[in-house]
Amino acid sequence: MKGRRWEDLPFDCLIFVFCKLGFEDLTISVPFVCKSWYKASIDPDCWRVLNFKELDFSTKSKFIARFKRLYQLQSFSFSSFLKLCITKSHGSVIELRIPSLLGASLQQDLVLISIKCPKLKVLSLPTLLWNDDKQLPELICKWKEMETLEMTWKPISFLQMLEQIKLYCPNFSELNLCGFFNGKDAQAIIRCLPKLKCLFMSASFLRKNDLLMILEGCKELEEVNVSRCRGLDVDDAVLKKASKMKFEFEGCKPEENYGNTYYNYDDLFMELVFGY
Protein backbone atom coordinates (compact mmCIF):
# COMPACT_ATOMS: atom_id res chain seq x y z
CA MET A 1 0.00 0.00 0.00
CA LYS A 2 1.36 3.36 -1.05
CA GLY A 3 1.93 6.00 1.62
CA ARG A 4 0.16 9.32 1.49
CA ARG A 5 1.99 12.14 -0.24
CA TRP A 6 2.53 15.54 1.36
CA GLU A 7 0.84 17.31 -1.55
CA ASP A 8 -2.31 15.25 -0.89
CA LEU A 9 -2.77 16.60 2.63
CA PRO A 10 -6.04 18.49 3.20
CA PHE A 11 -5.72 22.17 2.32
CA ASP A 12 -6.36 23.33 5.90
CA CYS A 13 -3.60 21.06 7.19
CA LEU A 14 -1.11 22.50 4.72
CA ILE A 15 -1.99 26.03 5.79
CA PHE A 16 -1.61 25.07 9.45
CA VAL A 17 1.88 23.69 8.78
CA PHE A 18 2.96 26.60 6.58
CA CYS A 19 1.94 29.12 9.24
CA LYS A 20 4.71 27.65 11.40
CA LEU A 21 7.41 28.11 8.77
CA GLY A 22 9.96 30.89 8.57
CA PHE A 23 9.89 33.62 5.97
CA GLU A 24 12.60 32.06 3.84
CA ASP A 25 10.75 28.75 3.46
CA LEU A 26 7.47 30.51 2.77
CA THR A 27 8.86 32.71 0.00
CA ILE A 28 11.56 30.74 -1.83
CA SER A 29 10.93 27.08 -0.98
CA VAL A 30 7.32 26.04 -0.40
CA PRO A 31 5.71 27.85 -3.39
CA PHE A 32 7.95 25.98 -5.83
CA VAL A 33 7.24 22.41 -4.65
CA CYS A 34 3.86 21.81 -6.33
CA LYS A 35 0.59 23.57 -7.19
CA SER A 36 -1.21 22.56 -3.99
CA TRP A 37 1.65 23.86 -1.84
CA TYR A 38 1.76 27.08 -3.80
CA LYS A 39 -1.97 27.59 -3.37
CA ALA A 40 -1.74 26.96 0.37
CA SER A 41 1.31 29.22 0.76
CA ILE A 42 -0.57 32.27 -0.52
CA ASP A 43 -3.43 31.87 1.93
CA PRO A 44 -3.67 35.08 4.07
CA ASP A 45 -3.36 33.08 7.28
CA CYS A 46 0.25 32.27 6.35
CA TRP A 47 1.07 36.00 6.26
CA ARG A 48 -0.42 37.20 9.54
CA VAL A 49 3.01 37.32 11.22
CA LEU A 50 5.65 39.18 9.20
CA ASN A 51 9.01 38.93 10.95
CA PHE A 52 11.48 40.47 8.52
CA LYS A 53 14.19 40.37 11.20
CA GLU A 54 14.78 36.68 10.50
CA LEU A 55 16.00 37.45 6.97
CA ASP A 56 19.33 38.80 5.72
CA PHE A 57 18.89 41.99 3.67
CA SER A 58 22.58 42.81 3.31
CA THR A 59 24.21 43.30 -0.09
CA LYS A 60 25.69 39.79 0.06
CA SER A 61 22.47 38.11 1.14
CA LYS A 62 22.01 34.58 -0.19
CA PHE A 63 18.28 34.95 0.38
CA ILE A 64 18.06 38.00 -1.90
CA ALA A 65 20.17 36.32 -4.58
CA ARG A 66 17.94 33.23 -4.60
CA PHE A 67 14.74 35.31 -4.45
CA LYS A 68 15.82 37.32 -7.51
CA ARG A 69 16.73 34.16 -9.38
CA LEU A 70 13.50 32.32 -8.63
CA TYR A 71 11.25 35.29 -9.39
CA GLN A 72 13.40 36.41 -12.33
CA LEU A 73 14.03 39.89 -10.95
CA GLN A 74 16.76 42.31 -11.96
CA SER A 75 16.75 44.15 -8.63
CA PHE A 76 15.47 43.80 -5.08
CA SER A 77 14.31 46.36 -2.53
CA PHE A 78 13.01 45.92 0.99
CA SER A 79 10.06 48.22 0.26
CA SER A 80 8.92 46.08 -2.68
CA PHE A 81 9.32 42.89 -0.67
CA LEU A 82 7.36 44.39 2.22
CA LYS A 83 4.58 45.43 -0.14
CA LEU A 84 4.44 41.92 -1.63
CA CYS A 85 4.12 40.27 1.79
CA ILE A 86 1.51 42.73 3.00
CA THR A 87 -0.49 42.23 -0.19
CA LYS A 88 -0.50 38.46 0.40
CA SER A 89 -1.91 39.03 3.89
CA HIS A 90 -5.06 40.77 2.58
CA GLY A 91 -5.17 42.95 5.68
CA SER A 92 -4.74 40.12 8.19
CA VAL A 93 -1.29 41.07 9.59
CA ILE A 94 -1.25 41.06 13.40
CA GLU A 95 2.53 41.15 13.98
CA LEU A 96 5.19 42.97 11.97
CA ARG A 97 8.91 43.30 12.73
CA ILE A 98 11.25 45.46 10.64
CA PRO A 99 15.06 45.10 10.89
CA SER A 100 17.68 47.84 10.77
CA LEU A 101 18.36 48.74 7.15
CA LEU A 102 21.57 50.80 7.30
CA GLY A 103 20.07 54.27 7.28
CA ALA A 104 17.28 53.57 4.80
CA SER A 105 14.14 55.68 5.15
CA LEU A 106 10.99 53.81 6.18
CA GLN A 107 8.65 56.74 5.60
CA GLN A 108 6.67 55.23 2.73
CA ASP A 109 6.82 51.77 4.28
CA LEU A 110 5.26 53.02 7.52
CA VAL A 111 2.49 54.76 5.58
CA LEU A 112 1.80 51.51 3.70
CA ILE A 113 1.68 49.55 6.96
CA SER A 114 -0.72 52.06 8.50
CA ILE A 115 -3.11 51.70 5.56
CA LYS A 116 -2.87 47.98 4.83
CA CYS A 117 -2.43 46.53 8.35
CA PRO A 118 -5.42 47.75 10.39
CA LYS A 119 -5.42 44.63 12.62
CA LEU A 120 -1.81 45.08 13.74
CA LYS A 121 -1.23 44.09 17.37
CA VAL A 122 2.57 43.91 17.57
CA LEU A 123 4.89 46.39 15.84
CA SER A 124 8.69 46.28 16.09
CA LEU A 125 10.73 49.09 14.52
CA PRO A 126 14.45 49.89 14.21
CA THR A 127 15.94 53.29 15.01
CA LEU A 128 14.10 55.75 12.78
CA LEU A 129 15.49 58.56 10.67
CA TRP A 130 14.36 62.09 11.55
CA ASN A 131 11.53 62.34 8.98
CA ASP A 132 10.32 58.82 9.73
CA ASP A 133 10.35 59.62 13.44
CA LYS A 134 8.29 62.79 13.00
CA GLN A 135 5.48 61.05 11.13
CA LEU A 136 5.09 58.13 13.56
CA PRO A 137 2.53 59.78 15.92
CA GLU A 138 0.12 60.59 13.09
CA LEU A 139 0.11 56.94 12.00
CA ILE A 140 -0.73 55.49 15.42
CA CYS A 141 -4.43 56.23 14.93
CA LYS A 142 -4.54 53.57 12.17
CA TRP A 143 -3.52 50.79 14.56
CA LYS A 144 -6.44 50.72 16.96
CA GLU A 145 -5.77 47.10 17.95
CA MET A 146 -2.08 47.60 18.76
CA GLU A 147 -0.99 46.04 22.05
CA THR A 148 2.81 45.98 21.79
CA LEU A 149 5.35 48.47 20.46
CA GLU A 150 9.06 47.69 20.28
CA MET A 151 11.65 50.22 19.10
CA THR A 152 15.43 49.95 19.03
CA TRP A 153 15.77 53.58 20.15
CA LYS A 154 13.31 55.99 21.76
CA PRO A 155 11.92 58.34 19.08
CA ILE A 156 12.20 62.12 19.30
CA SER A 157 8.41 62.16 19.03
CA PHE A 158 8.03 59.91 22.09
CA LEU A 159 5.64 62.14 24.04
CA GLN A 160 3.40 62.80 21.03
CA MET A 161 3.41 59.09 20.23
CA LEU A 162 2.23 58.20 23.73
CA GLU A 163 -0.61 60.71 23.48
CA GLN A 164 -1.80 59.05 20.27
CA ILE A 165 -1.57 55.60 21.84
CA LYS A 166 -3.72 56.87 24.70
CA LEU A 167 -6.37 58.11 22.25
CA TYR A 168 -6.47 55.23 19.77
CA CYS A 169 -5.02 52.04 21.33
CA PRO A 170 -7.22 51.03 24.30
CA ASN A 171 -5.61 47.58 24.66
CA PHE A 172 -1.99 48.73 24.62
CA SER A 173 -0.05 46.75 27.24
CA GLU A 174 3.66 46.39 26.32
CA LEU A 175 6.38 48.95 25.57
CA ASN A 176 9.95 47.99 24.72
CA LEU A 177 12.60 50.57 23.84
CA CYS A 178 15.94 52.07 24.81
CA GLY A 179 16.81 55.73 25.33
CA PHE A 180 17.13 58.69 27.68
CA PHE A 181 14.12 58.90 30.03
CA ASN A 182 13.36 61.84 32.29
CA GLY A 183 10.53 62.91 34.59
CA LYS A 184 8.31 64.12 31.74
CA ASP A 185 8.64 60.76 30.03
CA ALA A 186 7.75 58.93 33.25
CA GLN A 187 4.68 61.11 33.77
CA ALA A 188 3.58 60.54 30.17
CA ILE A 189 3.93 56.75 30.51
CA ILE A 190 1.72 56.82 33.60
CA ARG A 191 -0.87 59.15 32.05
CA CYS A 192 -1.07 57.59 28.60
CA LEU A 193 -0.56 53.87 29.26
CA PRO A 194 -2.94 52.96 32.11
CA LYS A 195 -3.13 49.29 31.09
CA LEU A 196 0.62 48.81 30.71
CA LYS A 197 1.65 45.34 31.87
CA CYS A 198 5.19 44.98 30.48
CA LEU A 199 7.85 47.69 30.30
CA PHE A 200 11.29 46.94 28.91
CA MET A 201 13.85 49.79 29.13
CA SER A 202 17.06 47.80 29.15
CA ALA A 203 20.29 49.76 28.48
CA SER A 204 18.56 53.14 28.88
CA PHE A 205 19.48 56.21 30.93
CA LEU A 206 16.97 56.26 33.80
CA ARG A 207 17.06 57.85 37.25
CA LYS A 208 15.74 56.15 40.37
CA ASN A 209 13.05 58.73 41.12
CA ASP A 210 11.62 58.42 37.60
CA LEU A 211 11.55 54.63 37.85
CA LEU A 212 9.82 54.84 41.23
CA MET A 213 7.25 57.18 39.70
CA ILE A 214 6.50 54.63 36.98
CA LEU A 215 6.33 51.70 39.40
CA GLU A 216 3.92 53.63 41.58
CA GLY A 217 1.77 55.07 38.81
CA CYS A 218 1.36 52.09 36.47
CA LYS A 219 -0.86 49.95 38.65
CA GLU A 220 -1.14 46.97 36.27
CA LEU A 221 2.57 46.39 35.68
CA GLU A 222 3.56 42.71 35.79
CA GLU A 223 7.06 42.80 34.30
CA VAL A 224 9.78 45.48 34.18
CA ASN A 225 13.29 45.18 32.77
CA VAL A 226 15.76 47.96 33.52
CA SER A 227 18.92 45.84 33.27
CA ARG A 228 22.11 47.66 32.22
CA CYS A 229 20.50 51.06 32.76
CA ARG A 230 22.83 54.02 33.35
CA GLY A 231 22.12 56.56 36.06
CA LEU A 232 20.02 54.07 38.01
CA ASP A 233 20.63 53.11 41.63
CA VAL A 234 18.44 50.11 42.44
CA ASP A 235 18.10 50.32 46.21
CA ASP A 236 15.72 48.83 48.77
CA ALA A 237 13.02 51.40 47.94
CA VAL A 238 12.99 50.30 44.30
CA LEU A 239 13.07 46.60 45.16
CA LYS A 240 10.18 47.02 47.60
CA LYS A 241 8.07 48.84 45.00
CA ALA A 242 8.81 46.12 42.42
CA SER A 243 8.41 43.17 44.79
CA LYS A 244 5.11 41.97 43.32
CA MET A 245 6.25 41.84 39.69
CA LYS A 246 8.97 40.24 37.60
CA PHE A 247 11.79 42.77 37.88
CA GLU A 248 15.18 42.56 36.14
CA PHE A 249 17.89 45.09 36.97
CA GLU A 250 21.25 43.36 36.49
CA GLY A 251 24.15 45.54 35.38
CA CYS A 252 22.73 48.94 36.36
CA LYS A 253 25.23 51.73 37.10
CA PRO A 254 24.35 54.53 39.51
CA GLU A 255 24.03 58.17 38.58
CA GLU A 256 27.24 59.41 40.14
CA ASN A 257 29.16 57.64 37.38
CA TYR A 258 26.98 58.70 34.48
CA GLY A 259 24.83 61.64 35.50
CA ASN A 260 26.62 64.51 33.75
CA THR A 261 28.86 62.95 31.11
CA TYR A 262 26.64 63.25 28.00
CA TYR A 263 26.75 66.31 25.82
CA ASN A 264 24.19 65.22 23.24
CA TYR A 265 21.91 62.37 22.17
CA ASP A 266 24.63 60.80 20.01
CA ASP A 267 27.01 60.50 22.98
CA LEU A 268 24.33 58.78 25.02
CA PHE A 269 23.42 56.42 22.17
CA MET A 270 27.04 55.29 21.73
CA GLU A 271 27.42 54.66 25.48
CA LEU A 272 24.14 52.80 25.99
CA VAL A 273 24.15 50.70 22.83
CA PHE A 274 27.83 50.13 22.11
CA GLY A 275 29.47 50.79 25.48
CA TYR A 276 31.82 53.47 24.13
Give per-residue pLDDT as tens, 54-64.
999 988 999 99
Give me the chain's average pLDDT, please: 89
Residue 14 is assigned to a structural domain of this protein: no
Burial (CB < 10 A; 0-12, 13-18, 19+), residue 165, is: buried
Q: How many domains does the chain have?
A: 1
Confidence of residue 4 (pLDDT cuts 50, 70, 90): low
| The Cα angle at residue 151 between residues 147 and 152, in degrees rounded to 5 | 155
Write down the pLDDT at residue 266: 47
Note the pLDDT tens digit of each residue in 198-216. Answer: 999 999 999 999 999 999 9
Write down the pLDDT at residue 263: 43
pLDDT (average), residues 132-159: 95
Write down the pLDDT at residue 170: 96
What is the chain's percent helix, strand, coil content, to nearest 5? 45, 10, 40
Residue 78 is assigned to a structural domain of this protein: no
Write down the pLDDT at residue 77: 92
- Provide the 8-state DSSP code for 247: E
Burial (CB < 10 A; 0-12, 13-18, 19+), residue 123, is: buried
Write down the pLDDT at residue 107: 92
Residue 228 is assigned to a structural domain of this protein: yes
Write down the pLDDT at residue 274: 44
Write down the pLDDT at residue 22: 85
Confidence of residue 11 (pLDDT cuts 50, 70, 90): confident
Note the pLDDT tens digit of each residue in 147-158. Answer: 999 999 999 999
Residue 81 is assigned to a structural domain of this protein: no
Write down the pLDDT at residue 1: 42
Residues 216 and 241: their CA atoms lie apart, in Å, by: 7
Note the pLDDT tens digit of each residue in 72-129. Answer: 999 999 999 999 999 999 999 999 999 988 668 899 999 999 999 999 999 999 999 9
Contact 205, 261 (CB under 8 A): no
Residue 229 is assigned to a structural domain of this protein: yes
pLDDT at 50 over 80: yes
Q: Is the dihedral of CA 14, 15, 18, 23 positive or negative?
A: positive
Pick the more confident residue, 73 or 10: 73
Residue 104 is assigned to a structural domain of this protein: no
Q: Are strands 230-231 and 246-248 parallel, antiparallel or unpaired?
A: unpaired
Note the pLDDT tens digit of each residue in 169-199. Answer: 999 999 999 999 999 999 999 999 999 999 9
Residue 218 is assigned to a structural domain of this protein: yes
Write down the pLDDT at residue 153: 94
pLDDT (average), residues 128-155: 95
pLDDT at 259 over 80: no
Residue 21 is assigned to a structural domain of this protein: no
Task: Write out the residue range of the structural domain in which residue 210 sits.
Answer: 183-276
pLDDT at 275 over 50: no
